[in-house]
Every structure is written in structure tokens, then in C-alpha cells.
Amino acid sequence: MTEEVPHNPVRGAARRRLAVVAAIAVGAPVLAAGAASAQVSPGGGTSAPGDPEVTSIQCLTRCIDGTTGVVKSKIRLLGTDLANTKVVSLPRSDGARAKDKEPIVKPNGNVIARVRKGAVTGAVRVADTFGQVKDSDYSFTVGTKEQLLEVQQQFRFPVKGPHTYGDGFGAPRAGHSHQGIDIFAKCGTPLIVTHTGVVKANAYQGSAGNYVVIDGQGVKQDYMYAHLMRPSSLRKGQPVTTGDLVGKVGETGNASGCHLHFEIWGGKGWYTGGSPFDPEKLVRYWDSYS
């Protein structure tokens, strides 16, 4: 039974039996039984798990926001009884479904799927290996490339020039662990503002060398740039815009080789109640388009 049918209120196992009955009776493939027959009582036989139930849909890649993506976005489905998911689909404007037939079921029961070509905003439909099909109660929004571009342009990769990656977050350091990511580039390579905000610090410190911190506006992220060649010309409190010059790659402070040490602090920010997190995914994403 590969045909996807909309969910009906009969529980999975019961519906499968109903389906068999219907197929015998009318010699046709399973149809969406709008009226659930109460005559079929559950119990006995092989039982499928409950119907798959999607309770939350998150956008993971190419996201316009947390619940809005575009074609080719990776999405995460949370819910119950998703372990046997076989096909994840979204509607298409021509009435067909844009299907991902190779979703990944995680050990924790979450499902990772792709938004396929032609997908438009609508309920996410999950079909499992038991032939159970269920639409999510609310819609996942599929936006346009233009909208994605607009969001992407709000964030820029901090190094404007050829670069390579060095140590990542958590790498061992004497007495502590690395709180950021190292991006190697020629000394003098321009460093730019990742996201519009306000300069929170511009100072020198023994290990960070010349450093700058920018408090990102509306994103609950602070960005810390270390080892700048010279003190930045930015003033504390100065508003800055994505792409503005921060300074140049250097090796001041405790650095071997010209590189940017870059940290992202979440929550309440850099030394104001927040904490640094592994920025690699974000940084590599920004690197992929800027």
C-alpha cells in the first residue's frame, strides 16, 4: 500500500483492517474512509503502533525563520510514533505532493526530511511503513528564494577573503577549553560585522590581543573578534551594520599565525549573563553564501 491517503479518525491498526475489508469488498485500492465504521473493533492480530503524529516542525537549513524554509531546506519533525516514517511530503500547487522518500529517522524518534521541489505551504504529511498517514495539524511555511536571500544578507561571514578553518569550539587549551572557532587568513584581511548591532567592547587583552565585541540587534547573539592586527577604529556604543569593517586579521595576543578567533555568545551575551556556544555550523553557513 503505497498510496498516501489523508488521515481518518480510525486508529491505525483498525484502519488497516478496514482497508483490507474495503479492498475485498470493492476490489479497489484503499480509499480515504471518511466515515469510520464502529463495527470494526480494535484488538487482535498484528498491531501497528499508533498513527504518526507530528506536533512540531522546525526548519534546520536554508531557513527564513525557525518555522519557515524554502525548497531544499532540511526540516525536523517532532511528535509521536514517527519511528517508522517512510515518506514525508508537503503539498504542491498542482495538487500533487512534494515527497521526500528518504527521510532520516533519528534514534530519539525525530525525523529529518527535505523540502522537495514544488513544495508549497501546507500541512506536512507523514506516511509510515504500516501504511498509516497523517497530516500535521498546522502548516509549514515554504517561502521564496528572494525571502531567503533577504534573511541571508542580514548575516555575513566575518572574514572577507581567502581563509581556512583551524581549531573549533571546545578544543583543549591550557586550563580551559577553546570558546570559539579559529579562522586563518592572511594578516591584513578585512574583518566585517556579522550582524547589525552595537559595539559592546573594543579593547586589548593578553590572550585575545586586540578584540572587539558586537552586540547583535534582535538576534540574541554577541560576536567577539580577537587577535586583530591593530586596535579597531570602532567606538564602544557605536551602531554598526552587517558588512561594516571591524578591523583586520592579525596575530596580537596569544596567537600563533594570523587568524581570527571568533566567538558567538547566546542569551544575554558576552560577559553579561550569556555563554558562548559552538559557532561552527552558523559560521560555515554564512561562509557558504557570503
Please give the residue ranges that form the binding site for Zn ion (CB under 5 A).
182, 261
**Which cell goes with 260?**
581570527
With CB atoms as reference, the residue minimizing the distance to Zn ion is 261
Select 100 or 182, whichever has its Cβ closest to Zn ion. Answer: 182
Closest approach of Zn ion to the CB of residue 259, in Å: 7
Select 41 or 256, whichever has its Cβ closest to Zn ion. Answer: 256
Select 133 or 183, whichever has its Cβ closest to Zn ion. Answer: 183
Select 117 or 176, whichever has its Cβ closest to Zn ion. Answer: 176
Closest approach of Zn ion to the CB of residue 53, in Å: 44
Select 225 or 286, whichever has its Cβ closest to Zn ion. Answer: 225
Concatenating the DSSP letter of every residue in 167-193 gives: --TT-EETTEE--SEEEE--TT-EEE-
Angle at 165 between CA 159 and CA 170, to 5 degrees: 110
Closest approach of Zn ion to the CB of residue 30, in Å: 59
Neighbours of 4 (CB within 10 A): 18
**Beta partners for residue 276, in sequence order:** 265
Contact predicate 7/134, CB 8 Å: yes
Closest approach of Zn ion to the CB of residue 230, in Å: 19
Closest approach of Zn ion to the CB of residue 158, in Å: 13
Concatenating the DSSP letter of every residue in 84-142 gives: TEEEEEEEBTTSSEEEES--EE-TTS-EEEE--TTB-SEEEEEEETTS-EEEEEEEEEE
Neighbours of 160 (CB within 10 A): 18
Closest approach of Zn ion to the CB of residue 249, in Å: 12
CA distance to 88, 91, 274, per residue, from 195 (Å): 34, 34, 18
Select 51 or 182, whichever has its Cβ closest to Zn ion. Answer: 182
